[in-house]
Amino acid sequence: MSDTAFGAASTTDEVLEGVDLAGKVAAVTGGSGGLGLETARALAAHGAHVVIAARDPQKLDDAATSIREAHPDASIETLVLDLADVSSCRRAAISLLTATDRLDLLINNAGVMCTPFGRTVDGFETQFGINHLGHMAWTVPLLDLLSRSASPESPSRIINLSSAGHRFGDVDLDDLNYENRPYDEWAAYGQSKTANILFSVELERRLAQLDVRSVAVHPGGIHTDLGRHMTSELLTQLQDRIAESNPGGDFSWKSIPQGAATTVWAATTPSLASSAGVYCEDCGVAKASDDAEASAGVESSAVDPERAAKLWDLSMELLATV
């Protein structure tokens, strides 16, 4: 099936039909449940050796068992990773580097949404700290392995899960950690998801010549435990935003296999083998759209290379303090 045949309703198994990932190694954060578990299952079902990373050892074991029960030949490992603790991120990266001599796919899937105001172990605002800085602390030590595993014919790929929620808040380069402005759950979530896109843009700029591609992905609207922190008021606000962005009432929730489809598409499609640094949704590359009421597309500021470079520098400075 060609890339153009895939869309919002496609599932992971449909996207990966006929794809052979034997010999490939993939790491998936948040792999113990939801989209991460489905992503790990689908990749393992098609021959990849998959390392699932999350903070709860029991949930990791349960996830690995569920994949092996569905696919007895699946090659699965687990790795403890707490994205709210930079030291844990660095330890997990070292453990992965020790355990494998290649890494073809890095799927940064884990995240939190609309948490009450708080700070990570290292003092970073929770959503920015987990969704962006934690993944950056985990990813940067793995870049050399990704590049050594790549070739022009078979580039390595980094997939960073973002969201249409990036429209809820831009990155404030002068106050990333909410030290000088009132906290708003949606704006903080939007900032962290915009940061995921900018991180992908800068990774592409830095690594493209090393045959490492980087992509940001919006999975769509899916019922998972990502929204576990949301109050009834926040849920109402989300419903109102969805209604405003879809005045025709054509919004559709996705199943988990549909939600994870864009991730595995971005990780395997030949169309992104030579050029990436893009934002994808519904198994395709999204167009730029600065319409405040748009329900699709990516804001131009979220793919601005100058802002991406600045965020990289500021983030590295923050991580250097830990």
Full strand arrangement of the beta sheet holding 156-161? 75-80, 49-54, 25-29, 105-108, 156-161, 212-218, 278-281, 284-285
Q: Which of 10, 88, 162, 214 is catalytic?
A: 162
Q: Is the C-alpha dihedral spanning 215, 277, 165, 290 positive or negative?
A: negative
**162 in active site:** yes
**193 in active site:** yes
Pairwise CA distance, residues 302 & 145, whole Å? 27
Cβ–Cβ under 8 Å, residues 307 and 198: yes
**24 in active site:** no
User: In the 8-state DSSP scheme, what is residue 222?
Assistant: B
Cβ neighbours of residue 56 closer than 8 Å, sequence gap 6 or more:
32
Q: Which of 163, 178, 189, 214 is catalytic?
A: 189
Cβ neighbours of residue 9 closer than 8 Å, sequence gap 6 or more:
254, 258
Q: Which of 24, 156, 193, 254 is catalytic?
A: 193
Q: Active-site residues: which are they?
A: 162, 189, 193
